[in-house]
Amino acid sequence: MDTEKDITIEKWVNLEDIAEFLSVSKDTIRAWIKADKIPYCKAGKQYKFKISEVDDYVRGGKITE
C-alpha cells in the first residue's frame, strides 16, 4: 500500500528578498556572504537563500553585525 505524504518544498529567494525579510540593506547581505555569516547557494552569478535556514541562523545568534 502506497501512502502519499504532504511534502512542501520551500522556494529559494534572491538577495533582495532576504534583505527585505531581515530589514537590512543588500550591501549588508553581501558583506555577510563575504564573511560567511549567512547560509546561501550561488546559482550562476546570483545568490539564493532559504528563508528557514537564514531564520535559524538569526534565531541562533549566528548572524551578528
One pLDDT digit (tens) per residue for the chain, 65 residues: 555 667 789 999 999 999 999 999 999 999 999 999 999 999 999 999 999 999 999 999 887 76
Considering the domain boundaries, does residue 46 fall inside one?
yes
The predicted structure's pLDDT at residue 62? 82
pTM, two decimals, is 0.81
Burial of 1: CB neighbours in 10 Å, binned 0-12, 13-18, 19+: exposed
Considering the domain boundaries, does residue 55 fall inside one?
yes
Domain that holds residue 53: 13-59
CA distance 56 to 37: 12
CA distance 29 to 3: 41
Considering the domain boundaries, does residue 65 fall inside one?
no
Q: What is the pLDDT of residues 41-50, one digit of tens each?
A: 999 999 999 9
Residue 44: alpha-carbon gap to chain centroid: 16
Total domain count, the chain = 1
CA distance 52 to 32: 17
Considering the domain boundaries, does residue 7 fall inside one?
no
